[in-house]
Amino acid sequence: MTMLKLVGSPWRTDTFRQLYNRLENVVGAKTAKQFEPLKIFTVGDLMRHVPRRYFSGTELSDLATLAEGEEVAVMAEVVDARTFNVPDRPNYRLPGKPRLEATITDHRGRLTCTFFGQPRLINYWHSQLRTGARGIFAGKVTRFNSRLQLAHPDFVILDEHGAMVGGAAHNASLASASRSALVGLYPVTGKLRTWTIADCAALALESLAGIEDPLPEWVRHAAHVVDLEAAFRAVHQPADEAVVATGKNRLRFDEAFALQLTMAYRRADAASHRAIPRTPKSGGLLDAFDELLPFILTRGQVAVSEEIMADLGRTRPMQRLLQGEVGSGKTLVALRAMLAVVDAGGQAALLAPTEVLAAQHFQTITRMLGELATGGTLGAPEQATGVVLITGSSSAGRRREATLQAASGTAGIVIGTHALLSSDVQFADLGLVVVDEQHRFGVEQRAALSAKADTRPHVLVMTATPIPRSVAMTVFGDLETSTLREIPAGRADVTTVVVDTVHQPSWVQRGWQRVVEEVDKGRQAYVVCARISSKNSSGTDGENLAGSGDDGAAAAVEDMFEELRHGPLSGVRVEMVHGQLPSEEKEAVMARFAAGKTDVLVATTVVEVGVDVPNASVMVIHDADRFGISQLHQLRGRIGRGAHPGVCLLLTTAEEQSPARQRLDAVAATRDGFALAEVDLEQRREGDVLGASQSGSRSSLKLLRVLKDAELIAQARTLAEQCIAQDPELNEPGLADIVLDVEMDAAGDWLERT
């Protein structure tokens, strides 16, 4: 059974058919539409949308945590309520719009709620909002007269037992309050209110009454978890906090077990296929390349290369993750593996996520190989092979020539973007697939490229972002892991400084002076901006601007390019590059910078990975708080790659104690990518760290936290391995559906479920 053979199969159990019943079939199309911004489309999606916290009838929210623009639902007590412009007799009008202002409190701070409506409604709401009344108030936090308020919030008033006694809710039944001793406050969006979600969850629970648990009883017993229906009721209609804990524990286990079962299935599937051993021949291309190297491999590069060569020599396909510190030489190790495969008569394909990165790999590899990359041309060395580049914007003639070389086997190394997945790209004997920046690709893309080989090829996955072990175990559990920590000798130190552009404007000017000084010494510099153009707010290269605020305030490449070349850098050669430039123009700009014909390159994060210019010694990152820790670490890794000490300036307007500033301070404090990866994971949701493509359009980790739940993940892995050992073909219907669910999610097919 191939890795993705399950995808597209019908559900084998009634349970999964019920869980993937479209939500509109249960709550109606109009209500279901409100759930779409929350990525809730099915009954199962709703069941796993768990309240972020629960209240008894006596608890109050912390109003100090509210932020302007946030949609909130808070439990609070009414201090007072006053009406304005409401006539005291019918048919009598007062100037101004009738309104009600109520002040609510958490016994520490206060918040104003303002309501507008007809006098009859105003009077009714006023009667509900008695001094001392407790209720849930839901709406958008706005600012008026320099103070936060809720403008026209929905609300429900609860009695001392948590049951609803009145309110201004669009859906006033508040089913959860009447059925449960606890009231759950759900994550909400737009006009969707927490009690609407509670009502819909109650309807969904009714539709799932009596469902069969997909987990075998022995697995539930070993994991000490309740059955699935009980878990859903525990989180949506709990009697007490202890019941909530049992429900969440089951749902957390489900997330861990589903991932681990899928990984175990993939490992077993890979082991069941035969691969052609690819052993390099003595005196071949690899030996010729090693003789050309002007340096000695690090101990880490030697050790990892030996692991990879051993895998390539086996009849079982290699499934290996190569991760390493920035500048540790992963590309060199991967290239040696590709040359070994070419030596053995096969071909290697390198899949990169962007055209800039693919072009950089092509230039780096052809430069490193020299004449050994001229295979098929007159006068080429005997061991030489062809190296070609295939991207979406390749000209018709260039693409035709490259695909012909790939299909004929003349090109031993084929480098490209998603274009390699196209039907017109074929191989004579694909023996190795190298996937760079794996977090930007889904498993199905890796498999699609592998499917172009008659016999299962070996697979090497590279990531330039160091991955904490807990994440690697969860997301890359189908791969063996090799790690490069050692930085090659001769690399210079890099100093990182956080510059507060609001309070330290003179430091910014000094930064530009430093750039000029470095250029005068013959060095080069990068200036990185968060977006391309100030003319629209969507002009980024698709990078994840973690923690970004208002995009409108971010410096743009086009503006910065003009400002610098006519201002502080007017005496140096400045160029710009970003993802929206034509492919040939991007390549030309990068080539000039690499050749030293450009002094300063103003860019987006297209230079984040793969760009190797040893002469670059300065990097200035504008609005650094708009980038994640891993991105900043990768960007910084573009300097100090030669013998020249580097300096990285992180320009920011973030307040000193803010989370954004703490991220920058963490980056400035260390160059250890693995330490930064742990900090990154602690500060951000795993779904963000892993990247959306790891789990389809939604994060599969809703409750699971890979740091906190490492023990649970390990337990799930053990049970999953036992399941696959007993049932490698997944004949157990419930287990087959669990894997199908994960694989469909990864393949992005879940929106099409019916």
Residues 6+ apart with CB under 8 A from 68: 141, 142, 143, 148
Give the bridge partners for 704, in sequence order: none
Residues 403 and 425: beta-carbon distance below 8 Å: yes
* pTM exceeding the 0.85 threshold for the entire prediction: no
Residues 665 and 676: beta-carbon distance below 8 Å: no
Phi, then psi, of 183 in degrees rounded to 5: -110, 120
pLDDT of 70 reads 77
Give the bridge partners for 528, in sequence order: 603, 621
Structural tokens at position 222: 């070993």
pLDDT of 700 reads 59
DSSP for residue 70 = -
pLDDT of 206 reads 95
Q: Per-10-residue mean pLDDT for the chain, 754 residues long?
A: 51 92 95 93 95 74 83 86 77 70 91 89 90 86 88 81 58 42 77 85 95 96 97 93 95 94 88 90 92 90 96 93 83 95 96 86 92 87 93 89 94 94 92 77 67 88 75 72 79 89 91 94 95 67 40 80 94 92 88 93 84 90 91 88 90 89 92 82 56 41 80 93 94 93 66 34
pLDDT of 551 reads 44
Q: What contacts 24+ positions apart, CB below 8 Å, involve 149-154? A: 149/111, 149/112, 149/113, 149/114, 150/72, 150/111, 150/112, 150/113, 150/114, 151/114, 152/114, 152/115, 152/116, 153/113, 153/115, 154/193
Phi, then psi, of 137 in degrees rounded to 5: -120, 125
Structural domains in the chain, CATH included, are 53-185 (2.40.50.140), 285-484 (3.40.50.300), 494-671 (3.40.50.300)
Residues 552 and 645: beta-carbon distance below 8 Å: no
Collapse the DSSP code of 323 into the 3-class scheme (helix H, G, I; strand E, B; otherwise coil) and give the result.
strand
Residues 613 and 582: beta-carbon distance below 8 Å: no
The helix (run of H) or strand (run of E) holding residue 525 is strand 524-528
Structural tokens at position 81: 């309520």
Position of tokens 């949308």? 49
Residues 609 and 634: beta-carbon distance below 8 Å: yes
Residues 34 and 196: beta-carbon distance below 8 Å: yes
| CA dist list (Å): 314 to 276, 470, 526, 626 | 8, 28, 44, 45
pLDDT of 163 reads 62
Give the bridge partners for 82, in sequence order: 101
pLDDT of 498 reads 95
Pairing of strands 574-577, 164-167: unpaired
Closest Cα to residue 354, out of 579, 164, 196? 579
Q: How far is it, in rounded angstroms, from Cα 144 to Cα 154?
A: 18
Q: How far is it, in rounded angstroms, from Cα 709 to Cα 311?
A: 32
- Torsion-angle region of residue 210: left (phi > 0), alpha (psi -120 to 50) or beta? left
Residues 381 and 288: beta-carbon distance below 8 Å: yes
Collapse the DSSP code of 214 into the 3-class scheme (helix H, G, I; strand E, B; otherwise coil) and give the result.
coil
Collapse the DSSP code of 460 into the 3-class scheme (helix H, G, I; strand E, B; otherwise coil) and give the result.
strand
Collapse the DSSP code of 424 into the 3-class scheme (helix H, G, I; strand E, B; otherwise coil) and give the result.
coil
Collapse the DSSP code of 734 into the 3-class scheme (helix H, G, I; strand E, B; otherwise coil) and give the result.
helix
Report which residue type is found at 501: T
